[in-house]
Structure 1
Amino acid sequence: MIEAAVIGCGRMGAFTSEGVRKFAPDCWFPLAHAEAIRQADGVDLVALCDASEDNLARAAKEYGVLRTYGDHAAMLAEGAPQMVGIATRTIGRTGIIADCHAAGTRAFHIEKPICNSMDELAQLEALFARDDTFVTLGAVRRHFAIYREAVNRARSGTWGELLEARVDMGRGALYWTHPHSVDLILLAAQGRAVEAVHARLGPVERDGKVVRNDPQILSASIWFEGGFAGHIGRAPGVDFRLSCENARVSVLNDGHSLWQAVVDNENPYPKPGRVDFDAPPGPQGALAPITQLAACLSGDADARAANARLKDDILMGQRILFAMIQSHFEGGCPVALDAVDPGLVVEARSGQFFA
């Protein structure tokens, strides 16, 4: 049995918000780390950690966990679990990951984004490069069957070349919202190299190389080798659209439905229609990445290969977020990923809270 713990017992760590439970489609569940771990075959939730005594007591009662800690160092002192869900605020997250890894933890399900600075990203790149370290991200849409179906259809070649992906998530902030957008675009890109990123952001509170706030993305594009592009807009809803030469494939309203519109020989105007899609059996929500981590720890070669690709995308996604900041600093001009200032820091504060 794989022993697991959750660090951070708030909304994402232990208690999915009522709004998400009310409105999100079924593919989102289970979403909270603790809930997903409890449902994962071969995984035992043995410990919880949170600085809030109230959160900790509530989570311990909900999940029947006896080992509870006010900080992760105390937990690790009594033995590192094989798997850890990290659902803290971003500030300090890199240190928690490093401490757990040094103590022996090898599988991590980490809320997004993964870090606050280019220096922290370099630390995580070195850690993620290890073959015995497995990582998944709280940007979980890529694991849902309906999103994978959309990408498979668009990349099938049936309707010509896949030209671009577009994600709209309303008036979303860079750190709070758009790690999800970037991750979906990287899912569609399927490992293509990034050539340039450009972005225009809302007001940025800046102190030298430190961005204090979590600015809104007004518009952003990611350009890949071969001409493929990903775009982020501000239309309401949560929609993911893939455009081929002769068709569009769309996941609308956060996974509620799949649509496609195909050009025919007589009518150049594609008519959209809903696709009847029933997800095949298998884990969804946060249970899907937790299941992948468990398979990696158990030595499954396919899971380990998939996770190696995922780790690359997680690191690339974080670097792209920093490149968007750099592009904004340079008036929205395209920037290469290696042109980001190595001293860049993003605190991502919204009022009294941090992403």
Structure 2
Amino acid sequence: SHLGAYHLNPQPAVVAVCDLKTELFETVADTWGQEFGELETYTDYRAMIERENLDIVSVVTSDHRHTDIVVEAANAGVKGIICEKPFATTVDDCTRMIEACEANGVLIAVDHTNRWGPHYDVAREAIRSGSIGEVQRIVATLGGPRAMMFRNGTHLVDGVCFFADSEPEWVFAELEPGCDHYDRYLGDGGRDPATDPAVSGYVHFRNGVRAFVNANKSQFAASFTFQVYGETAMLDVHNSRVIRRDRNNSEFLPFEAHLYTRIPACVADLIDAIENGSDLLSPAREAKKTVEILVGFLQSHARGNVRVDLPLPPGH
């Protein structure tokens, strides 16, 4: 949880929480009262932003309810924002949030948690060092009942962008059966998998990398994997291991556990960027690439599985 992540980082002091479900305030007090003391509670985020002298705001609302909160927090002058994934469900909403943050000098990190994993570190270092030669193809697979395009597919597509290390130029895609009317996001914020379809998609990147995105809710076993194919070798990337394979050998690439991973690492990353000017590992403009690809997938399917060029024009 975000509260747990702030607890694990020694610098921040949590002072307030906001939720429409007031019964959760008692749960927060019971769980975190000893660590944080008595917190101010709000049901209106605008009141919280106005009354509290906040340095950082975490936005952990439903997938399609981030934008107004982020924009108002940025305009109020907070120093940093952590926004849950997916960053947004429209490209226009991404643009609104980025413009508000950049206009006010506010840093915003998007919680694509795998970016802070040691397996991602080792894999991208192998790619950038030339260990597998120039990257040619990426095959990304997500399986299980919640292999939803926006809710969890956002992690898969973000991983593709992380390893491709380039700008997406065009896409095409096909959604799961029964979703021909999905020309835009029609989900309920990430709760019901039936409202957020799985997708099979293709992404062409500016540097020539071609990526195949495969999500399947009815797959026999849950999975979240990447195969990154280079000219001379390939990487098999899983949560617990990274394997390099070439024509003659297979080897596990060693990595050490990080002090912080996932949300705690996101918090630490944002604090370091605020205090020391370091670059964010998961900035908003990177997260916008993922949203643009996902919306491009929707547009491709709705138009008969055609190629859709990126970036998308306003109105998407």
Secondary structure at 1:317's aligned position in 2?
helix
Distance 1:129 1:102, change over 3 A: closer
Alignment of 1:198-217 (within 5 A): 198-202=172-176, 203-204=178-179, 206=181, 210-213=184-187, 214-217=195-198
**Change in CA separation of 1:146 and 1:89 when aligned onto 2, cut-off 3 Å:** same
**TM-score where L is the length of structure 2:** 0.86
Q: Which moved more, 1:227-236 or 1:87-96?
A: 227-236
C-alpha distance in 2 between matches for 1:243 and 1:131: 41
CA distance in 1 between partners of 2:4 and 2:57 (Å): 13
The residue aligned with 1:296 is: 273
Task: Determine which of 212, 216, 226 is the counterpart of 1:240.
Answer: 226
Partner of 2:192: none
2:74·2:101 contact (CA, 8 Å) conserved in 1? no
Report if aligned partners of 1:168, 1:237 keep a CA contact under 8 Å in 2. Answer: yes
State the 1:170 CA deviation.
0.8
Q: 1:42-61 alignment to 2 at 5 Å?
A: 42-61=11-30
Shift of 1:211: 4.2
Match of 1:178 in 2: 153
Amino acid across the alignment from 2:232: N
Q: What is the match of residue 200 of structure 2?
A: 219
1:196-235 deviations in Å (ceiling 9; x for gaps): 111111232748x654244423311211113112221136
**Pairing partner for 1:75 from 18, 26, 48:** 48
Q: Offset of 1:311 from its aligned partner? A: 2.5
Instruction: Give a deviation string over 1:274-293, Cα, whole Å, max 9, x none.
Output: 344323x4321211111111
Deviations 1:108-148 (A, max 9, x none): 11111122334323312312434722111221101111111
- Residue 241 and residue 58 in structure 1: after superposition, are their counterparts in 2 closer, same or farther (change >3 A)? same
Structure 2 portions without partners, runs of 5+: 188-194
Unpaired runs of 5+ residues, structure 1, are: 1-31, 265-270, 345-355
Q: What is the match of residue 197 of structure 1?
A: 171
Matched residue SS, 1:184: helix
Q: Is the 8 A contact 1:84 1:108 kept in 2?
A: yes
Q: CA deviation at 1:339?
A: 4.1
Structure-to-structure mapping, 1:1-355, within 5 angstroms: 32-64=1-33, 65=36, 66=38, 67-130=40-103, 132-171=105-144, 172-190=147-165, 192-202=166-176, 203-204=178-179, 206=181, 210-213=184-187, 214-234=195-215, 236-252=222-238, 255-264=239-248, 272-279=250-257, 281-298=258-275, 300-301=276-277, 303=278, 305-306=279-280, 310-339=283-312, 342-344=314-316
TM-score (norm 1): 0.77
| Residues in 1 aligned to 2:184 and 2:242: alpha-carbon distance in whole angstroms | 40
* Matched-pair contact (CA < 8 Å) for 2:235–2:243: yes
CA distance 1:276–1:296, change in 2 (3 Å): closer
Q: In the superposition, relative to structure 1, how do residues 205 and 51 fare at CA in structure 2: closer, same or farther (>3 Å)?
A: farther
Aligned residue pairs, count: 297
State the Cα RMSD in Å. Answer: 2.2
Distance 2:283 2:159 in 1: 12
Higher strand share: 1
Corresponding residue for residue 191 of structure 2: none
List per-residue Cα deviations over 1:214-273 (Å, max 9, x = no partner).
442331121111311222113641112211122221222xx1222221223xxxxxx544
- Contact in 2 for aligned 1:37/1:43 (Cα 8 Å): yes
Between stretches 177-186 and 61-70, larger displacement belongs to 61-70
- Within 2, Cα distance between the matches of 1:246 and 1:338? 32
In 2, Cα distance between the equivalents of 1:159 and 1:121?
34
Matched-pair contact (CA < 8 Å) for 1:258–1:274:
yes
Identity of aligned residues (%): 21
- Which letter maps to 1:246? T
